[in-house]
């Protein structure tokens, strides 16, 4: 169901307030330290000083000036941050105060505001079983808020989830290496090959969004449930201990298999729940990457 304009702007303003505070208080410095530039670029030349690496001597300037000069380089800081966000039917589900789609919008805002505070460019790809919208990378707070509006405003669909096609599209339009946040519930099939290829080309981080009811059914007796992607109706007797046990074991097994594959491919993963603060999960990601960069 689409959100009317007034309600949409209220939600965008609320998310802006919440995530701006988180960025200012917790994430700004941490973001800069964990997402490095793509290389180094020439800055200037200066006179040689004892201890400088002789390999950095600029021989042309040295010959012209009559005494040694060295090249100084700085980190090529500007990054491109891309958010590849699931908009399939299953992402509209939520049994707490927020749906998975709303959590995804807040998460996108948090990371986008962190990025633009560091002068990085941000872009967006929305997908279901097709590419729904693509916004090329841009700089600035206006660009960040546009991303949030697009994620929130996208109409609920009954379409499925095709992660492989989304990643194929990403790799076709983004030729230069980027930091990619893939935000999905990963209720999809046959996307591991494209995930592997994308992880080789980009710095890929998978944000797996889930709801507590998707991990453990509550004991509330018979309920009618609808598959949000197909419209199929099904009656479940949640009072059955066997049903609840089987459901929990299956979801646990699937989650473990997914995490094991992410780990094998060297992909960082952020588990996000509709029932828990997402900023804690992001800070844990930053901490892990900081420790890894220091070789700990």
Question: Do 162 and 261 fall within a single domain?
Answer: yes
Question: Do 186 and 64 fall within a single domain?
Answer: no
> For residues 73 and 75, what is the distance between their CA atoms, to the nearest angstrom?
7
Residue 199 has pLDDT above 90, yes or no: yes
> Using one digit for the tens of pLDDT, what is the confidence trace for 208-218?
998 888 777 77
> For residues 149 and 142, what is the distance between their CA atoms, to the nearest angstrom?
11
> For residues 288 and 296, what is the distance between their CA atoms, to the nearest angstrom?
9
Q: Which residue has the higher pLDDT, 68 or 217?
A: 68
> Using one digit for the tens of pLDDT, what is the confidence trace for 78-125?
789 999 999 888 877 767 677 888 888 888 888 888 888 888 899 999
> For residues 218 and 203, what is the distance between their CA atoms, to the nearest angstrom?
38
Question: Do 141 and 169 fall within a single domain?
Answer: yes
Residue 118 lies in a domain: yes
Question: Do 103 and 60 fall within a single domain?
Answer: no
Percentage of residues in the chain having pLDDT higher than 70: 82
HEC readout, the chain: CCCCHHHHHHHHHHHHHHHHHHHHHHHHHHHHHHCCCCCEEEEEEEECCCCCCHHHECHHHHHHHCCCEEEEEEECCCCEEEEEEECCHHHHCCCCCCCHHHHHHHHHHHHHHHHHHCCCEEEEEEECCCEEEEEEEECCHHHHHHHHHHHHHCCCCCCCCCHHHHHHHHHHHCCCCCEEEEEECCCCCCCHHHHHHHHHHCEEEEEEEECHHHCCCCCCCEEEEECCCCCCEEEEECCCHHHHHHHHHHHHHHHHHHHHHHHHCCCEEEEEECCCCHHHHHHHHHHHHHHHHCCC
> Using one digit for the tens of pLDDT, what is the confidence trace for 186-195?
988 899 999 9
Residue 117 lies in a domain: yes
> For residues 201 and 198, what is the distance between their CA atoms, to the nearest angstrom?
5
> Using one digit for the tens of pLDDT, what is the confidence trace for 131-150?
999 999 998 888 888 887 88
Q: Count structural domains, the chain.
A: 2
CA nearest to 148, candidates 175, 124, 128: 124
Question: Do 19 and 115 fall within a single domain?
Answer: yes
Question: Do 270 and 184 fall within a single domain?
Answer: yes
In angstroms, what CA-CA distances link 104 with 83, 110, 174?
10, 10, 22
Q: Which residue has the higher pLDDT, 168 or 216?
A: 168
Residue 219 lies in a domain: no
By DSSP bridging, strand 179-184 and strand 131-138 are unpaired
Q: 49, 68 in Cβ contact below 8 A?
A: no
Q: Report the mean per-residue pLDDT for the chain.
A: 82
Contacts 24+ apart (CB under 8 A), 103-107: 103/209, 103/272, 103/274, 103/278, 104/151, 104/183, 104/207, 104/209, 105/11, 105/15, 105/148, 105/151, 105/152, 106/15, 106/18, 106/19, 106/278, 107/181, 107/183, 107/207, 107/209, 107/272, 107/278, 107/282
Question: Do 204 and 60 fall within a single domain?
Answer: no
Residue 140 lies in a domain: yes
Question: Do 175 and 50 fall within a single domain?
Answer: no
Look up the domain containing 169 and give its range.
5-35+77-211+254-293
CA nearest to 34, candidates 137, 181, 208: 181
Question: Do 46 and 167 fall within a single domain?
Answer: no
pLDDT band at 179 (very low <50, low <70, confident <90, very high): very high
Residue 218 lies in a domain: no
Question: Do 148 and 269 fall within a single domain?
Answer: yes
Per-residue confidence (pLDDT) for residue 43, from 0 to 100: 59
Residue 189 lies in a domain: yes
Q: Which residue has the higher pLDDT, 206 or 108?
A: 206
pLDDT band at 76 (very low <50, low <70, confident <90, very high): low
Question: Do 118 and 61 fall within a single domain?
Answer: no
> Using one digit for the tens of pLDDT, what is the confidence trace for 245-296?
888 888 888 889 999 999 999 999 999 998 888 888 888 888 888 778 776 5
Per-residue confidence (pLDDT) for residue 252, from 0 to 100: 85
Domain boundary among 75, 100, 126: 75
Question: Do 133 and 48 fall within a single domain?
Answer: no
């Amino acid at each position: 169901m689409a959100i009317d304009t007034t309600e949409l702007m209220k939600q965008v303003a609320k998310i802006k307030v919440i995530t701006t505070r988180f960025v200012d208080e917790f994430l700004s410095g941490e973001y800069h330290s964990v997402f490095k530039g793509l290389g180094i670029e020439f800055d200037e030349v200066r006179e040689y000083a004892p201890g400088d690496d002789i390999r950095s001597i600029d021989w042309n300037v040295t010959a012209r000036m009559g005494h040694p000069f060295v090249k100084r380089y700085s980190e090529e800081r500007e990054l491109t941050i891309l958010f590849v966000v699931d908009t399939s039917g299953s992402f509209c589900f939520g049994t707490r105060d927020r749906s998975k789609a709303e959590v995804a919008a807040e998460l996108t805002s948090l990371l986008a505001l962190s990025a633009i505070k560091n002068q990085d460019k941000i872009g967006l790809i929305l997908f279901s079983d097709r590419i729904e919208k693509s916004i090329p990378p841009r700089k600035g707070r206006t660009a960040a808020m546009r991303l949030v509006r697009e994620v929130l405003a996208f109409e609920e669909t009954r379409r499925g989830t095709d992660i492989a096609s989304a990643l194929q599209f990403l790799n076709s339009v983004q030729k230069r290496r980027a930091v990619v946040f893939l935000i999905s519930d990963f209720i999809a099939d046959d996307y591991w090959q494209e995930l592997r290829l994308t992880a080789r080309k980009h710095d890929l981080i998978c944000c797996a969004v889930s709801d507590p009811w998707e991990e453990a059914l509550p004991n509330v007796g018979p309920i009618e449930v609808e598959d949000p992607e197909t419209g199929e109706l099904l009656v479940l007797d949640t009072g059955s201990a066997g049903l609840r046990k089987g459901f929990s074991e299956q979801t646990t097994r699937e989650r473990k298999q997914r995490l094991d594959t992410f780990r094998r491919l060297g992909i960082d993963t952020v588990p996000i729940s509709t029932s828990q603060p997402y900023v804690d999960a992001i800070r844990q990601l930053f901490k892990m990457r900081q420790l890894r960069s220091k070789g700990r």
